[in-house]
Amino acid sequence: MRIVIAGGHGQIALRLERLLAARGEEVAGLIRRPEQADDLRAAGAEPVLCNLESASVEEVAAHLQGADAAVFAAGAGPGSGVARKDTVDRAAAVLFADAAVRTRVRRHIVVSSMGADPEHEGDDVFDAYQRAKGEADAYVRRLDALDWTILRPGMLTDDPGTGLVRLEASTGRGPIPRDDVAAVLAELLDTPATAGLTLEVVGGSTPVSVAVKSVAGN
């Protein structure tokens, strides 16, 4: 498979790139800054310079040509303000999905946020983030040309992964290592029967492969 990851230098994306490269997949990661390229190469991924806040849908589509799957793992990140929650967490996700439709890359996975909701209330930056992620998720769900899966992790940690998760439509809040989120994403890419599902994931007691097969109905 060739897999293109938006937000290729993110903490989850780099972990996912390592996992996919280790099993022999061809991986490309979209990055904003040239100095991020070496980290992607070290993870086994091809760095592709593409700023999703300024690129056109045609430019993004060019990077998706020939891909078998696309993963949106970009985010404005901590310390960013309300404006970038909109330009990255909403608009870039919409742009990436539109580019996938244009290039007929059907398999599409979105790393979202637990509690994402376009109707989320509040004036804080985190409230704007939850609205932006919710609006992006709602947009992707409307695209019949995509076989989408939306993954909403709980509180992310840098603890070593356990390989054990709770993956359901609704899990309730809880922590999860970024290692385990990446492992779930890799398994979702292998499990097309999860298309059309919005899933929450936190640390749990079920091996990742078993958890994904369970939600897929296998």
Please give the single-letter amino acid code of residue 193: A
Contact 61, 102 (CB under 8 A): yes
pLDDT for 78 beyond 80: no
Q: Enter the pTM of the model.
A: 0.95
Return the percentage of the chain with pLDDT > 70, whole number.
100
Locate 39 and state its tokens. Answer: 């980290």
pLDDT value for 79: 74
Q: What is the DSSP letter of 160?
A: P
Mean pLDDT score across all residues of the chain: 95
First-last CA distance in the chain: 22
Please give the single-letter amino acid code of residue 170: S
Length of the chain: 218
In this prediction, residue 133 has a pLDDT band, given cuts at 50, 70 and 90, of very high
pLDDT for 123 beyond 90: no
pLDDT value for 187: 98
Name 206's bridge partners.
165
Q: Which residues, 6 or more positions from 3, have their beta carbon under 8 angstroms from its beta carbon?
A: 20, 25, 26, 27, 28, 67, 68, 69, 70, 71, 189
Contact 185, 210 (CB under 8 A): no
Please state the φ and ψ torsions of residue 94, each to the nearest 5 degrees: -65, -45
pLDDT for 218 beyond 70: no
Locate 71 and state its tokens. Answer: 């993963």
Please state the φ and ψ torsions of residue 171, each to the nearest 5 degrees: -105, -20
Q: Which tens digits make up the pLDDT trace of 155-203?
A: 999 999 999 999 999 999 999 999 999 999 999 999 999 999 999 999 9
Candidate list 3, 47, 72, 129, residue with the active-site label: 129
129 among known catalytic residues: yes
pLDDT value for 81: 83
Q: Which tens digits make up the pLDDT trace of 6-38?
A: 999 999 999 999 999 999 999 999 999 999 999
Please give the single-letter amino acid code of residue 100: A
